[in-house]
Structure 1
Amino acid sequence: MTTSVLVAGIGNVFLGDDGFGVEVVRELKKTALPDWVRVADYGVRGMHLAYDLATADPELTVLVDATERGDEAGTVYVIELDTSARSPRPCLDAHGMQPDVVLDLLALLGGVPGRVLLVGCEPAVVDHRMGLSPVVERAVGTAVAAVTDIVANHGR
């Protein structure tokens, strides 16, 4: 079965746990994945990610990011994002990496997303420093396993 999956690590490595997605894709690049899976570090380049989504048109996009939901720090979760009925907003932050901003940029470019999942982690510390907190560092392996499972199930 030939499919296309984009795994996008997003976040700012200069803001502590916000670099979670970047660290997860760094680990995923060491993992054997099917050739129809592309793993990329987008950092804070929202316009770049939206452009790649518009041109590559993946069936499945997995965004990996630190996302505050009010859970205990280090909690990893998988959420399917609602991508229906997007209206492009003319005033957008091209560096914004929140999923809604990226999807709005994609709509502005005329793209239509396939299925989009967010593998998120509750951050402990988001401040001006490099490196993940110990609790979020421990969650990297859990997120790598979650992405690997998503890819394995998508290919079936």
Structure 2
Amino acid sequence: MKKELENLIDTHCHLYLPEFDKDRDDIIQRAKDAGIEKFFLPNIDSRSVNAMLSLSSSNSGICYPMVGLHPCSVKDDWLQEIAVIEKYLFEAPEVKFYGIGETGLDYYWDKSFIGLQKQNFQKHINWAKEFRLPIIIHSREATEDCISLIKE
């Protein structure tokens, strides 16, 4: 099969999630056949880190892990979630992360955790600066607040 395009990168996919377990390898192969050479995997919460790292390890040079806490995963227990994420980021030198995220603000689904989402996002912005890594931003109905926090 001739590739229509080459050197494509999927900058944001969650192929490590359970809904892809049955046909993950086929999905990756079809994407590669279509010219996608790399997949960047933003993390969403502490429970998904191991699956993401496993996929990255078994597809080294193709799948690249990123670490963060998705704004929709920010709840009352977000500090415990962040502690797990920080442990990977600061205490796992054997793991190379290629970005910080997925993070940001989401005002669409649930507005009760906006203040905590902002704190979470600011923490991720600081990590991105500290580690000099790109930040993967999720913004839904929160563009102005996202821009404001980035500028701070």
By the TM > 0.5 criterion, same fold? no
Higher relative contact order (CA 8 A, sep 6+): 1
More helix by percentage: 2
TM-score, structure 2 normalization? 0.30
Higher strand share: 1
Structure 1 or 2, whichever has the larger Rg, is 2
TM-score after normalising by structure 1: 0.29
